[in-house]
Amino acid sequence: MPAPLAPLLGFTLGVLLAWLARPEDGPDERPGASSWDRPTLAVALYALFLYAPVSAYFAVFAADWSFAYLVDGRAIPSALLLLLVLLDAAAPVLGFLAGRRALARRALPALAWLAALPLLVALLPLVVLHARFGVDASYDQVQSDFGTRPLPGSPLGYAILWMDALLVAGAVFTARTLSTIEGRGAAPLPLHARPGRPLPEVLPPDPASDEPPRFLGRTRGPR
């Protein structure tokens, strides 16, 4: 994927993961609860070991294409590429945390904006520069208009398909893992507090007896 747009797409992906893995009763936002729980760790592992390396591959080995042949990839400072890779590793986690916070506050419009705004900002250059992103060439070839070839069927095109397939498969696996984690983390309700089950009636204590109050339908066990 284009290097400057990868952090924006990663943030949107993190918000979508928060939405797909939302528990029925909402995330745990109790005072003092840490944001770095098991679901956040799962997203961080996906970002660190899959999303960031895939984005770094195109930033390093297809820098000309990643910047839409607007600049020579050989002239891009390595510090800038490193900064982009760090942003790629952090963006899904930041999006996931922001999405969980919006879900905890039941702020669905804010959640929609968190996912849509970075996506729209990333799609705009893709639409405007689609002709440049649709060729496999070097910076010099595009500037001189020779030796270019269509992206579909080229080695770069196959690399994009393969890498994007890995990202999608990893995102699906992460979403399923998050659902499993959230499902295991929900504690079952007590029998008398489950929805649709009335609370047992409490018998008033006998003033002449020191026995504790008893529930109807329950036998008193041995003392």
What pLDDT score does 193 carry?
Answer: 46
What pLDDT score does 198 carry?
Answer: 55
Cα(8)–Cα(39) distance, rounded to whole angstroms? 21
What pLDDT score does 191 carry?
Answer: 46
As a whole-number percent, the residues of the chain with pLDDT over 70 amount to 75
Amino acid at 74: R
What pLDDT score does 57 carry?
Answer: 95
Instruction: Collect the ranges in the chain with pLDDT lower than 50.
Output: 30-32, 186-194, 223
Distances (CA, A) of 133 to 54, 67, 202: 17, 9, 73
In the chain, at which residue ranges do the beta strands (DSSP E only) sit? 135-136, 149-150
Strands 149-150 and 135-136: antiparallel
Q: Is 117 helix (H, G, I), strand (E, B) or coil?
A: helix
